[in-house]
Amino acid sequence: MALKMVKGSIDRMFDKNLQDLVRGIRNHKEDEAKYISTCIDEIKQELKQDNIAVKANAVCKLTYLQMLGYDVSWAAFNIIEVMSSSKFTYKRIGYLAASQCFHEGTDVIMLTTNQIRKDLSSPNQYDTGVALTGLSCFVTPDLARDLANDIMTLMSHTKPYIRKKAVLIMYKVFLKYPESLRPAFPRLKEKLEDPDPGVQSAAVNVICELARRNPKNYLSLAPLFFKLMTSSTNNWVLIKIIKLFGALTPLEPRLGKKLIEPLTNLIHSTSAMSLLYECVNTVIAVLISLSSGMPNHSASIQLCVQKLRILIEDSDQNLKYLGLLAMSKILKTHPKSVQSHKDLILQCLDDKDESIRLRALDLLYGMVSKKNLMEIVKKLMIHVDKAEGTTYRDELLTKIIDICSQSNYQYITNFEWYISILVELTRLEGTRHGHLIASQMLDVAIRVKAIRGFAVAQMAMLLDNAHLLAGNTQRNGICEVLYAAAWICGEFSEHLEDPLQTLEAMLRPKVTTLPGHIQAVYVQNAVKLFAAVLTRRETAGEKQAAQETTEMLIEKLPQFVQSADLEVQERASCILQLVKYIQKLQAKEVSVAEEVTALFAGELNPVAPKAQKKVPVPEGLDLDAWINEPPSESESEDEKPKAIFQEDEPKHSRPRLTELDEQELARRREARKQEQANNPFYIKSSPSPQKSYQDTPGVDHIPVVQIDLTVPLKVPGMPISDQYLKLEEERRLKQKQEKKDKKKKKKKEKHGKSRRHDSAHTESEEDIAPAQRVDIVTEEMPENALPSDEDDKDSNDPYKALDIDLDNLVSGGGAYRPLADSEKLPVRTHRPSRTEGLKSPDVDTTAEEQRPKKSKEKDKKKDKERKKSKEEKKKKKRKKSAPTEELEEEEQQHQGEQAEDKISTEDTSEAKEAKTNDVPAAVPTEASDLDFWLATAPVPSKPQQQPLEAVPLSEPESPKESEKDQEESKSSKHKKKKHKKEKEEKKSKKKRHRSENVESEAAVHNGTAEEEEEEPLPPMSNYCLLAENSYIKMVYDIQGNLQDGSQVVVSVIFENNCTDFLKSMEFNVLDSLNTRLVRPSGASVHDGIAVPFQLPPGVSNEARFVFTVQSIVMPQKLKGTLTFIVKTEDGSTHEKLDFKLHFTCTSYLITTPCYSDAFAKLLESEELKVNALKLDSINMPFHHLLAKICFHHHFSVVERIDSCASMYSRSIQGHHVCLLVKSGDNSVSIDAKCNEPSLLSHVLEEIKQTFTTAS
């Protein structure tokens, strides 16, 4: 007792942890909800405390409660608090909670952007990892946009652990922010060849996901994947790649041919079932994509089918399931090879596992033939009886109907049998597919004229026993068949034996419990039956009986007039009036039968389901235009219940005809007959519809009445389909016998056989003559229907946005499209100062990265034109955006330069380079050219594929070729121009490094003082040359680390200058006391850091290195060395390159926005030291000057008034630097304040450097 008290008090002192919560919940089984609600109150208290440990604990418990179904979104802000803790333990809890309960609708999610960014750049890899994992679950379009660039840099992180996570999350980023795909793709592609298998696997994973949605954009990667497939041993990667190939082959048959061999080898060699299975799957896809007429592939099909048979026969149910799944894919194109395994598949129908039975059912669809249809359906009917679950039974039902109705009832030889099957199916309780059966009944009865008599008899029986179907509400689904039954009986009432009986059945009081739309059909068809009854009575001269029928109708119809369903009510009251009128006429001894029948004369033809859609809109008809101006909204139309069968539609107009006089009626009838006679689509009634039915042996002597005596337990009067099976067998036997006889007789005379016999010897199953000569009426389509079978694609597809052409980014020669300005990823750095014209350094690098990848031009003309037009479009687009004028001018300038032959030596060498790139031979990146790669496959000569084959450029003889060449040269000129432009940019960069600013020159050229506001800014880059030799070139940029006051990050872009492969690069610097390179734990100060990638020829990539600095008031230089191995054809050599890293004071500054009032306060404070600088002969526009200071020296503009501006920046150690920039005539004065005079003087010195060298 005492202890309990102690425990209680301690409890209050210390909070419950997760384990206590779980234990508590388990101890309160009876009042769990109550207990949890007190716990949530506790948690709310804990969240109010300042202690982060307590908060984290509370959030952890909330995560558990979330799993139990409690909404914890109210704690979203607290979760963010815990996420931002500096301790990994808490951070991880926060991110876990966030990943469980944040989503796009969570509003506080936007607060996380900076926190996540901070975590992403954390020096602790697990902080980064945990942030990436969390982000992958709740990334929103905003987060994706803001963080895309940070994540992209992480893709080249030194740690594989981070790299692989960063690569994977890119897929989520692409989904939310599709614009990031193009800039990020080159790097993603690079990761396919990452040395770490995990990263490689992640990259494969992402590209496979992308390619699955839009395969055509990734065809160009096929060679690379092919290489991976033949070299990789990781089954997980192999499976993904093989699956990807499965998606690619339909687009490129040549790829399939190339694949077959390695895949077949894999099938033979692998022991892993999963891999085997995927190989088989892809081979199947290949075979489907190839035309089936290829003889040499039958072996592959046999192999697949044989392997699948092994899978299906396996005792492991999983393999059995998958085997059936794959088998169904073969079935579509090679049904014959599957049909030979019918035994196996039928066996699977009896499997105890429902999944397997369902798969086997799918296969049955292709297994049936005229011969075995009845047999298979009989088997399925047995399953239907045995099936316990409704889902499986419903599945069976739809399958039976599918199988029977496939390709226009191709396999049905006896429609009486089919009708009886349908009628038997109506006995199913609680099925959802009543309407399916109903539509089949209607379809068969309308389209197979010979069967109408039988169908009507069956339907009459159904109507008679309607109480069995509609009896209880649970069976509601099945009462749909009454709709069909009533309609068929009414429409084809001439076939009815006793229409009066059916009429009475349809007017029973019980009918009013049926759904409205069925009652409506009942009412309508009751009149048709009435007409039939009248006709019979009058022809028999039984006027009394006819009048009795009329009275009966008048007596029964009012129950429908009272119906709540408008449609029923309307029809009933209309018909009631009609019948009353008939009664009057009858009283006057007028014979009315003919007139009443005339109401329903004419035949209804089946209409194709899409017919309405395909009626072309006549010219000049605007369906959206108002015919009359819309009235005020008071009028509302009564909504009619939706008719489910198209056949019903034309009837709506019929009752109206009653008001027409007889003459008019006759005239119309005549017109209709005329029209029908002229209508080629109208199928005239055959002279004797019953004839074929009569003269087929075996069926005609089944009197319906006889059958209903034999099946007393079932719904009376229903023939059981099994009997047909027996009869059918007999019939076939007879037929065979006859044929044998005939054959014996006619052995010598091969001519003069009946039509059926002509085709008889082709296939044994064709021998079976249908029991009825079936006259299947085709569905009507409107004249000049538009042939647009394609169903509209879903425009809401989220993956559609990712349908981005990446080809010209990756390979492709002259039509290569660099990343446009608009496509750059938003970069955090310098954001406050960036205007549209500024190019971010990252985009520069990506553009640079791709440029050298250009390989020979082998693109097809078509392709080129397409790309060209795109290019032009893009240009047009650019014209609209601000910075274009200048670009254009620049371009012209370059052209002029070229013409005037003022090319510097550097330029010529580059031009040469470009030329060598254009020459088709001697290109090492052969494999990247898809066409070439595919063309090397052994291709059996097929004429239609000829134009697809890549034509080597070295054959300019043919006129076509020369034309193409012209095209080529044009585009190569185009390319050169582009090339030049880029070179120019690069050159400018170099020049800047040599303290010579070209951009400002350009600005001088173009900028006139009047239009300086509108004038766009020249592109700028902070990357400057670190070192260069014939193998490699390094450019670098230094930026402060926001989070850590003692760290700066050096981003180095390595560019391979030579034609050899560079690998094992190691980056090392000689540390000074003040500045040190951050090395992995355990490494000594003399160890270098391995650069996490290799460089194929012409490729560049970026790596980041972290340095710690102690004092930042002085600029510093560090000596360093890059060692690397050059791999040439004959061997490899060790090379090194020395460099000097220059840490300017500017690089310690971080762009920080500042409000003007805060700025004013800052200036007032005494601590700041003053310094000043005057720049002479500056004649660039003032906003250019500001932009340059912002960009190169990491300042932000606080306020600008005319030619005067205040600027602010902060060092990584928190020093404030304030500038006041004033522009006079040709000179600029800068007054500066900072709390660290040494830092300030150095910064000013650097600013001065920037501008003096520039001008």
Partner 1 sequence: MIKAILVFNNHGKPRLIRFYQYFPEDMQQQIIRETFHLVSKRDDNVCNFLEGGSLIGGSDYKLIYRHYATLYFVFCVDSSESELGILDLIQVFVETLDKCFENVCELDLIFHMDKVHYILQEVVMGGMVLETNMNEIVGQVENQSRLEKSEGGLSGAPARAVSAVKNMNLPEIPRNINIGDINIKVPNLSPFV
Segment 121 to 140, residues that bind partner 1, using CB under 8 A: 124, 126, 129-130, 132-133, 136-137, 139
User: With respect to partner 1, which residue has the nearer C-beta, 241 or 531?
Assistant: 241
Residues 352-411 that bind partner 1 (CB under 8 A): 352-356, 358, 391
Give which of 558, 552, 549 is closest to 593, Cα–Cα. 549
CA 364 to chain centre: 30
> Alpha-carbon distance 872 to 925, whole Å?
28
User: With respect to partner 1, which residue has the nearer C-beta, 396 or 1254?
Assistant: 396
Cβ–Cβ under 8 Å, residues 179 and 823: yes
Residues 836-895 that bind partner 1 (CB under 8 A): none
The residue within the footprint of partner 1, chosen from 20, 402, 961, 1028 (CB under 8 A), is 20
Residues 136-165 that bind partner 1 (CB under 8 A): 136-137, 139, 161, 164-165
User: With respect to partner 1, which residue has the nearer C-beta, 392 or 1159?
Assistant: 392
User: With respect to partner 1, which residue has the nearer C-beta, 33 or 617?
Assistant: 33
Residue 1135 structure tokens: 């090379």
> Alpha-carbon distance 380 to 397, whole Å?
9
User: With respect to partner 1, which residue has the nearer C-beta, 160 or 1040?
Assistant: 160
Q: Which one of 6-14, 290-298, 569-577, 1016-1024 is the stretch in contact with partner 1 (CB under 8 A)?
A: 6-14
The residue within the footprint of partner 1, chosen from 174, 277, 1105, 1107 (CB under 8 A), is 277
Q: Which one of 166-174, 505-513, 963-971, 1191-1199 is the stretch in contact with partner 1 (CB under 8 A)?
A: 166-174
Residues 672-691 that bind partner 1 (CB under 8 A): none
Q: Which one of 147-155, 205-213, 861-869, 1221-1229 is the stretch in contact with partner 1 (CB under 8 A)?
A: 205-213
Q: Which one of 1-9, 428-436, 707-715, 729-737 is the stretch in contact with partner 1 (CB under 8 A)?
A: 1-9
Q: How far is the CB of 235 from partner 1 (least distance, A)?
A: 4
The verdict on 66 binding partner 1 (CB under 8 A) reads: yes
The verdict on 11 binding partner 1 (CB under 8 A) reads: yes
Within 10 angstroms of residue 9's Cβ, the number of other Cβ atoms is 9
The residue within the footprint of partner 1, chosen from 43, 47, 60, 1145 (CB under 8 A), is 60
User: With respect to partner 1, which residue has the nearer C-beta, 165 or 556?
Assistant: 165
Give the contacts of 179 (CB within 8 A, at least 6 positions apart). Answer: 145, 823, 825
Residues 972-991 that bind partner 1 (CB under 8 A): none
Longest dimension (CA), the chain: 126
Residues 215-244 that bind partner 1 (CB under 8 A): 235-236, 239-240, 243
The residue within the footprint of partner 1, chosen from 150, 278, 424, 565 (CB under 8 A), is 278
User: With respect to partner 1, which residue has the nearer C-beta, 27 or 686?
Assistant: 27
The verdict on 7 binding partner 1 (CB under 8 A) reads: yes
User: With respect to partner 1, which residue has the nearer C-beta, 89 or 759?
Assistant: 89
Q: Which one of 269-277, 641-649, 662-670, 1210-1218 is the stretch in contact with partner 1 (CB under 8 A)?
A: 269-277
Give the contacts of 960 (CB within 8 A, at least 6 positions apart). Answer: none
Give the contacts of 1199 (CB within 8 A, at least 6 positions apart). Answer: 1156, 1159, 1205, 1206
The verdict on 39 binding partner 1 (CB under 8 A) reads: no
Give the contacts of 142 (CB within 8 A, at least 6 positions apart). Answer: 110, 113
The verdict on 12 binding partner 1 (CB under 8 A) reads: no
The verdict on 23 binding partner 1 (CB under 8 A) reads: yes
The beta-carbon contacts of 1007-1013 under 8 Å, at least 24 apart in sequence, are: 1007/1180, 1007/1181, 1007/1184, 1009/1181, 1012/1181, 1012/1182, 1012/1183, 1012/1184, 1013/1183
Q: How far is the CB of 1061 from partner 1 (least distance, A)?
A: 28
User: With respect to partner 1, which residue has the nearer C-beta, 185 or 321?
Assistant: 321
The residue within the footprint of partner 1, chosen from 53, 720, 903, 950 (CB under 8 A), is 53
- DSSP secondary structure letters along 943-996: GGGGGGSPPPTT---SHHHHHHHHHHHHHHHHHHHHHHHHHHHHHHHHHHHTT-
Q: SS in 3 state form for 622-688?
A: CCCCCCCCCCCCCCCCCCCCCCCCHHHHHHHHCHHHHHCCHHHHHHHHHHHHHHHHHCCCCCCCCCC
Q: Which one of 206-214, 495-503, 622-630, 1014-1022 is the stretch in contact with partner 1 (CB under 8 A)?
A: 206-214
Cβ–Cβ under 8 Å, residues 553 and 596: no
Residue 1246 structure tokens: 């650097």
> Alpha-carbon distance 218 to 244, whole Å?
10
User: With respect to partner 1, which residue has the nearer C-beta, 18 or 820?
Assistant: 18
Q: How far is the CB of 762 from partner 1 (least distance, A)?
A: 38
Q: How far is the CB of 211 from partner 1 (least distance, A)?
A: 10
Give which of 991, 1061, 1248, 997 is closest to 1145, Cα–Cα. 1248
The verdict on 1082 binding partner 1 (CB under 8 A) reads: no
> Alpha-carbon distance 1227 to 767, whole Å?
103
Q: Which one of 9-17, 363-371, 758-766, 1133-1141 is the stretch in contact with partner 1 (CB under 8 A)?
A: 9-17
The residue within the footprint of partner 1, chosen from 46, 55, 62, 64 (CB under 8 A), is 64
Cβ–Cβ under 8 Å, residues 55 and 93: no
The residue within the footprint of partner 1, chosen from 172, 182, 433, 1233 (CB under 8 A), is 172
Residues 692-731 that bind partner 1 (CB under 8 A): none
Question: Tokens 């660290």, residue?
Answer: 1236
- φ, ψ for residue 1118, nearest 5 deg: -120, 135
Tell me how far CA of residue 170 lies from CA of 132, 970, 1010, in angstroms.
10, 38, 46
Give the contacts of 329 (CB within 8 A, at least 6 positions apart). Answer: 281, 284, 285, 288
The verdict on 272 binding partner 1 (CB under 8 A) reads: yes
Give the contacts of 751 (CB within 8 A, at least 6 positions apart). Answer: none
The residue within the footprint of partner 1, chosen from 37, 49, 51, 89 (CB under 8 A), is 89
Q: How far is the CB of 144 from partner 1 (least distance, A)?
A: 12
The verdict on 1229 binding partner 1 (CB under 8 A) reads: no
The verdict on 205 binding partner 1 (CB under 8 A) reads: yes
User: With respect to partner 1, which residue has the nearer C-beta, 88 or 1159?
Assistant: 88
Q: Is 1142 helix (H, G, I), strand (E, B) or coil?
A: strand
Cβ–Cβ under 8 Å, residues 1173 and 1247: yes
Residues 280-319 that bind partner 1 (CB under 8 A): 317-318
Within 10 angstroms of residue 779's Cβ, the number of other Cβ atoms is 18
Q: How far is the CB of 165 from partner 1 (least distance, A)?
A: 6
Cβ–Cβ under 8 Å, residues 1065 and 1122: yes
User: With respect to partner 1, which residue has the nearer C-beta, 22 or 299?
Assistant: 22
Question: Tokens 């892809």, residue?
Answer: 282
The verdict on 274 binding partner 1 (CB under 8 A) reads: yes
Residues 408-427 that bind partner 1 (CB under 8 A): none
Q: Regarding beta strands 1075-1077 and 1169-1176, do their DSSP bridges make them parallel or antiparallel, or are they unpaired?
A: unpaired
Q: Which one of 92-100, 252-260, 983-991, 1215-1223 is the stretch in contact with partner 1 (CB under 8 A)?
A: 92-100
The verdict on 194 binding partner 1 (CB under 8 A) reads: no
> Alpha-carbon distance 25 to 18, whole Å?
11
The verdict on 33 binding partner 1 (CB under 8 A) reads: no
Q: How far is the CB of 323 from partner 1 (least distance, A)?
A: 11
Tell me how far CA of residue 116 lies from CA of 133, 480, 566, in angstroms.
11, 59, 62
The residue within the footprint of partner 1, chosen from 62, 144, 260, 275 (CB under 8 A), is 275
The verdict on 93 binding partner 1 (CB under 8 A) reads: yes
User: How many chain residues touch partner 1 (CB under 8 A)?
Assistant: 87
- DSSP secondary structure letters along 1020-1050: ----EEEEE-SSEEEEEEEEE-SS-TTEEEE
DSSP secondary structure letter of residue 1120: E
